[in-house]
A and B are shown apart, each in its own frame.
Chain A
Amino acid sequence: MTALVIAEHNNQILNAATLNAAAAAARLSGGFDVLVAGHNCGAVATQAAAIAGVGKVLVADAAQYAHALAENLAPLVVSIAGGYSHLLTASTANGKNAMPRIAAMLDVAQLSDIIGVVSDDTFVRPIYAGNVLATVQSTDRIKAITVRTTGFDAIAATGGTGTIENIAVQADAGLSTFVSEELTKSSRPELAAADIIVSGGRGVGSAENFAIIEKLADLLGAAVGASRAAVDAGYVPNDYQVGQTGKCVAPTLYVAVGISGAIQHLAGMKDSKVIVAINKDEEAPIFQVADYGLVGDLFKEVPALCEALAK
C-alpha cells in the first residue's frame, strides 16, 4: 500500500525537510503521495507535484490549515489515513507537534525520528541522545513516522509528475488559534539545511561577542548555531540550539567554538562529516569527536582563523 508524506511548508515554499521525509517514503515498497494542507498554498502543491517519484498530491486549502495547528491538521489526516500504510513527516517542530496526535487518534504507535528503513515495518531510530540505535518493528496497521532529516539524503525536487487533487476539508476544530510568530531573521543559510555551521557556546561569553562567530560564519558562507548554554544565557535566539533537544544537524563542516561537548550537544552534531573544535581546555570532550582540534583562546584563534581564511 501507498505511503503518505505530510508536506512542511509556509504556504508558499515547500520546506526542504519534506524532501528528506519523501526520501524515506521512497524506500518503502508502495510508492508515496504527498499531502499539502495550508491556505492559499497552490504554489506548494505545484512544487510537491515535481518531487521525484510522487504519485498524487492531495491539497486541503482552507484558512484553518494556514499555520499547521495540530488540532486542525490531525483530523484531516485521520480522515484520509485509511487508504495508507504509512504516514510520514519530517521531524520538524510542526511534524513533531502533529504526528503523535494523528497516531493516537488512529490508535497506532509512532516511530519517532527514524534514520533508517530496514523494511516496510522495521526502522532504525536513535535513542538516549543518539548513544544507542534501536531497530524497532511496528505491529500496527498504519505506521506513523517522523523522519530525522539527517538520516536520509533529500530526494530530487524536480522530475516528478504528481497529479494534484483537492480533498475535502474539515471544519475548524475550534480548540486553538494562531496569534503571532517571531521568526529569527537572518541572511545566512538555514541551520537545518546548511553545508557549513559555526556554533558558539558558553565560552563565547556574551551576545556582543557572538559577532566573532558570525564573522567566521559569513566568511565560510555558514549558518550559525549554538549550545544550549549559549541560548539559555541569551547570547542567541532559541532556534539556534543544536543538540538532543534542539536541532539535529549533519553538515559537511561543523565548527564548535567554546563548546565543551556535552552528550546532549554531541547528539545533535556528531554525524557531521568534518568536525572542528576550538577550545582552550585540551581535555574538553568535544575533542573526542573532532577531526581537527585547536587548543587555544577563541578570542585569539577565531580572528586569526578569519584572517587566514581571507588570504
Chain B
Amino acid sequence: MKILVAVKRAIDYNVKARPKADGSGVELANVKMAMNPFDEIAVEEAIRLQEAGKAGEIVAVSIGPAASQETLRTAMAMGADRGVLVQTDDEVQPLAVAKLLKAIVEREQPGMVILGKQAIDDDSNQTGQMLAGLLGWAQGTFACNVAPEGDSLAVKREVDGGLQSIKLKMPAVVTADLRLNEPRYVKLPNIMKAKKKPLDTLTPAELGVDITPRLKLLKVAEPPARAGGVKVADVQELVAKLRNEAKVI
C-alpha cells in the first residue's frame, strides 16, 4: 500500500505571529519557517507503517512556493521515498489544497493519505476532511492510533469527551493529532541522502485545478491585549483579591 503524506511549510511554532502594520496580512518576511508540526507526526506515522511492513512507498506532497522544497526534503530525510511539489506563489486555501491533493491521489493511487489535523498558521483544520469528501473516502480525523487490518483501518480518535474508536473502509484519509506518535529527529546522513531522492514539480494548471480563493481577507488585526496584572504576595492576598476585587469566587 502506497501512502501519500501532505506536508505544509508553515511558521515555526516558536514564533509569535504579528499582523503587518497596514493590516493587510500577517508579517512573514524573515520569519523562521518549518514543517507544520502535525505534518511531522503524519510523516512519522507513514514511516512507522512502512517499517512495520504495512506500507510500501511513501510520497510526500507539498503545495506552495519553491521554498516548500525544503519541507519535502525534511520529509524525505525523515524517511519518505519521494516528493511532489505543486508549485505556486498564489494563496492556496484549504478547498484548493484538497482539490490539488485529490488530483495527486488520482495519479498516485495511494491506499491511504495522512495529513496533519491542522496547520498552525491558518488553524483551519479542514483540508483532510475536504479531501475525504471530494474523494468519497472514509476519514479518520484527530487520530491518536492507526492500525491497518486487512482491507479496513482501525482508527482511535481524540474527541471532546475522550477517545473514540472507528473502523474505516480503505482507501482512507487520516489526520494526525498530537499523540499519534513522537516524530524522530532527522540525522545528518539522512539529510544528505534525501538530497538524492526524487522530487517532481507540478503546477496547479498541469493538474487542471482552479485554485481561485473563495475567501477574501479584508484585514488582520491584533486581538485586544490583556491589561497587565499584579503579583500577589501570598494566598491570603490572592483570595482577598478574587473575593473583593474581581468578585469571581
Query: Residues of A at under 8 Å CB distance from B?
Result: 67, 69-71, 74, 92-94, 96-105, 107-113, 122, 126-140, 174-184, 192, 196, 220, 228, 231-232, 237-239, 244-245, 247, 252-253, 263-264, 270, 273-276, 282, 287-295, 301, 304-305, 307-309
Stretch in B1-9, B66-74, B215-223 with 4+ CB within 8 Å of A: B215-223
Give chain B nearest CB distance to A125 CB in angstroms: 8
Q: Could you tell me the dominant secondary structure of chain B's interface residues? A: mixed
Question: What residue of chain A has the Cβ atom nearest to residue B167's Cβ?
Answer: A177
Q: Is B159 an interface residue (CB 8 A)?
A: yes
Distance, CA A184 to CA B160, complexed state (A) = 9
Say yes or no: A183 contacts B162, CB within 8 Å: yes
Give chain B nearest CB distance to A195 CB in angstroms: 9
Question: What residue of chain A has the Cβ atom nearest to residue B122's Cβ?
Answer: A127
Q: Which residues of B contact A128 (CB under 8 A)?
A: 11, 17, 26, 120-123
Question: What residue of chain B has the Cβ atom nearest to residue A15's Cβ?
Answer: B160
Say yes or no: B169 contacts A176, CB within 8 Å: yes
9 contacts between A and B (CB under 8 A): A104-B131, A113-B123, A135-B217, A180-B165, A196-B249, A245-B120, A275-B229, A291-B229, A292-B238
Q: Is B95 an interface residue (CB 8 A)?
A: yes
Interface size class of B (residues with CB under 8 A): 35 or more
The 7 A-B residue pairs with the shortest CB-CB distance in the complex, in nearest-first order: A128-B17, A100-B129, A104-B130, A109-B214, A101-B133, A104-B133, A100-B126
Question: What residue of chain B has the Cβ atom nearest to residue A124's Cβ?
Answer: B221
Give chain A nearest CB distance to B27 CB in angstroms: 9
Give chain B nearest CB distance to A3 CB in angstroms: 18
Stretch in B54-62, B138-146, B200-208 with 4+ CB within 8 Å of A: B138-146
Q: Is B231 an interface residue (CB 8 A)?
A: yes
Distance, CA A288 to CA B16, complexed state (A) = 14
Q: Which residues of A contact B144 (CB under 8 A)?
A: 238
Query: Residues of B at under 8 Å CB distance from A?
Result: 11, 13, 16-19, 26, 38, 93-95, 98, 117-118, 120-134, 136-139, 141-142, 144, 154, 157-169, 177-179, 213-223, 226, 228-232, 234-236, 238-239, 241-242, 246, 248-249
Say yes or no: A133 contacts B221, CB within 8 Å: yes
Q: Which residues of A contact B238 (CB under 8 A)?
A: 276, 292, 294, 305, 308
Give chain B nearest CB distance to A64 CB in angstroms: 13
Q: Which residues of A contact B235 (CB under 8 A)?
A: 294, 301, 304-305, 307-308
Say yes or no: A132 contacts B162, CB within 8 Å: no
Say yes or no: A293 contacts B242, CB within 8 Å: no
B216: which of A105, A129, A139 is its contact (CB, 8 Å)?
A: A139
A292: which of B141, B159, B164, B232 is its contact (CB, 8 Å)?
A: B232
Q: Could you tell me the dominant secondary structure of chain A's interface residues? A: mixed
Given contacts A132-B19, A289-B226, A309-B249, contact A104 B95 (CB under 8 A): yes
Give chain A nearest CB distance to B239 CB in angstroms: 5
Question: What residue of chain A has the Cβ atom nearest to residue B168's Cβ?
Answer: A176
Supply 12 further A-B pairs (C-beta < 8 A) apart from A138-B214, A138-B216.
A104-B134, A105-B133, A113-B123, A128-B17, A131-B18, A135-B221, A139-B214, A175-B138, A228-B178, A231-B179, A253-B249, A293-B229
B13: which of A175, A264, A287 is its contact (CB, 8 Å)?
A: A264
Say yes or no: B159 contacts A139, CB within 8 Å: no
Say yes or no: A93 contacts B142, CB within 8 Å: yes
Say yes or no: A244 contacts B218, CB within 8 Å: no
Distance, CA A98 to CA B131, complexed state (A) = 12
Say yes or no: B218 contacts A181, CB within 8 Å: no
Say yes or no: A102 contacts B231, CB within 8 Å: no
Say yes or no: B218 contacts A232, CB within 8 Å: no
Say yes or no: A308 contacts B141, CB within 8 Å: no
Say yes or no: A237 contacts B162, CB within 8 Å: yes
Say yes or no: B232 contacts A101, CB within 8 Å: no
